[in-house]
Amino acid sequence: MTAIHGPRPSTNGVEQAPVLIVGGGLAGLSTALFLSWHGVRPLLVERHPDLLIHPRARGFTPRTTELFRQVGLEPAIRDASFARGDDFRWVAIRADTLAGEYQPADEPQEGEPMAELSPAPFAPIDQDKLEIILRARAEELGADIRFSTALVSFAQDERGVSAVLRDCRGGQEEFVRASFLVAADGWDSPIRQRLGIALDGPGPFFHVATMMIDADLRPALRGRPVNIAYLQRPRPGTILMPNDDVGKRWVFGIGFAPEDAESIADFSDERAVALVREAAGLPDAAVTLQPQIPGTDLKVLGFAIGAQVARQYRQQRVFVVGDAAHIVPPTGGYGANAGIQDAHNLAWKLAWVLRGEAAPALLDTYEAERHPVGLLTMRQALALWGSRIGEGVAREGEAPLDYAAVAFGYRYQSPAVVGAPSHLPPALSSVELNGQPGTRAPHVWLERDGERFSTVDLFGDGFVLLTGAEGGAWVAAARSIAHPALEIYQIGDGEIADANDLWTSAYGVAEDSAVLVRPDGFVAWRSEGATTDPVAALTAAIGQVLAAASPALAVAEA
């Protein structure tokens, strides 16, 4: 795509950027990638000198893979996967030590076969490998990504955000003026704290000291497969996770109460080695700690394990994404996926407002849509937490939903959705979704010129209008509107065939109905059938989503 906005040379000593992103982790890089895909070239700054080599999240849902599929990254993610082939099975266990007797840890129940819900697979890739891919693609699309660069201060006004940045290597400072600021600066987000945004939820349970270690723990495994071990020793909440195929490189994590978090900074190699040996049940194991950021000697990192959601996702021209917006227990792998989906939701809205194709009020829908998903994600991760960790950690009362409902079934209610039902729960199964406004547009296999593709492959750029064999009036209406970012697909008209005759039932419509899908792949509006004035109906729907009276008005006011 052609860049429409990007960092510009300094004017009176102030560099100009459309969007300033603070934080170069998963959520920040995803924001930079999706913005760049939509033609906005952001400036991203990260205080560390490079990406972490710690894997952290170790897999991503098919819904998240769909988002990266839109920007051409599915093949690269597949090539960097740690699990290839159809016989791979994720093994999570509970035990006293790694050498002890194993019990299976509760896993989210899939509920429905993922292959039936998405054309994209589950992505078994470590977060550090994924971040390398995201960084490269974002830079390829024009993002300006600067490591060893810290945000010193910022101030916002009615027209933008002024920020002071510091080069962490030489200490030089520079001034940047941006239209918007995205805080992707982690669970303890200094930006969120400066804004005074409160957090809801039970808070941090404990802090985790985590490290990358080289240690031959195969004697503890005794040939048993393990992808993650939840251990009781040295204390409940300890984990060991292999980071290779043979059992010689591991991720080790151990928890501390929040009031003892400062002890993480005092970890010595000797203390860490003793804890790893106890967790493994191998008192004589040789253990070596590895630096976690290239070019540094940082061997121990601290993370909060808990459940909190920011009360606001936006304050004026500043938005919070990822861990800055929500921290959840790692159970189910929900948190990282939610952060990527935050970025995807926000990016297209920022791009359309910056292009002048939507009113600024569209940006209010980011919080309206993603905050409920943050709460849902927190509750579902909590529901799985106690069974993984064992005694001593309280369970949340809410029962777990099946994995497919959490991964695909979250829904949006906001002014950017026309006619979303208000009586439904926050997450639904695919049968319950049925193409309703505010839900992810379902995956259906289509065919054109002998090639098969998914409805999901049609989304990600502009708006998409889907109609059936009897929807000629909708096609004519869309062509008469001639919105520059509206693509039209008539299924069953002779050019595009429904491979399994499923599209109308999947989308809950008739052949003379129409479905309007947003750039993020969510149903914005659908008709119940034909109408006497399809031009007016379609114009009103697009206008409401873009917070303008009509598409033409949104463009004219730019």
Percentages (nearest 5) of helix, strand, coil residues in the chain: 30, 25, 40
CA 420/CA 524 separation, integer angstroms: 8
Cβ-based neighbours of 534, under 8 Å, separated by 6 or more: 473, 474, 476, 477, 514, 527
Kind of pairing between the strands at 463-467 and 326-327: unpaired
| Residue 419, both tokens | 């006619």
Single out the catalytic residue among 102, 230, 410, 412.
Answer: 230
Based on the residue annotation, tell me whether 489 is a catalytic residue of this protein: no
| Residue 68, both tokens | 């990266």
Residue 189 near residue 183, CB atoms below 8 Å: yes
HSE-up of residue 93 (Cα within 13 Å, Cβ side): 20
Cβ-based neighbours of 365, under 8 Å, separated by 6 or more: 349, 412, 414, 415, 416
| 459 residue type, one letter | F
DSSP class of residue 398 equals S
CA 32/CA 18 separation, integer angstroms: 11
* Strand spans (E) along 429-478: 445-448, 451-454, 463-467
* Strand spans (E) along 193-340: 199-215, 228-231, 238-242, 249-256, 287-290, 301-310, 314-315, 318-320, 326-327
Closest C-alpha among 534, 460, 432 to residue 525: 534
Q: From the CB of residue 488, how many other CB atoms can be counted at a distance below 10 Å?
A: 17
Residue 232 host element (H or E): none
CA 250 centroid distance within chain: 25
Cβ-based neighbours of 293, under 8 Å, separated by 6 or more: 48, 49, 50, 51, 52, 53
Cβ-based neighbours of 482, under 8 Å, separated by 6 or more: none
Closest C-alpha among 297, 424, 436, 438 to residue 365: 438
Residue 388 host element (H or E): helix 364-389
Q: In whole angstroms, how far apart are CA 46 and each of 16, 21, 41, 319?
A: 18, 9, 16, 17
Positions marked catalytic:
230
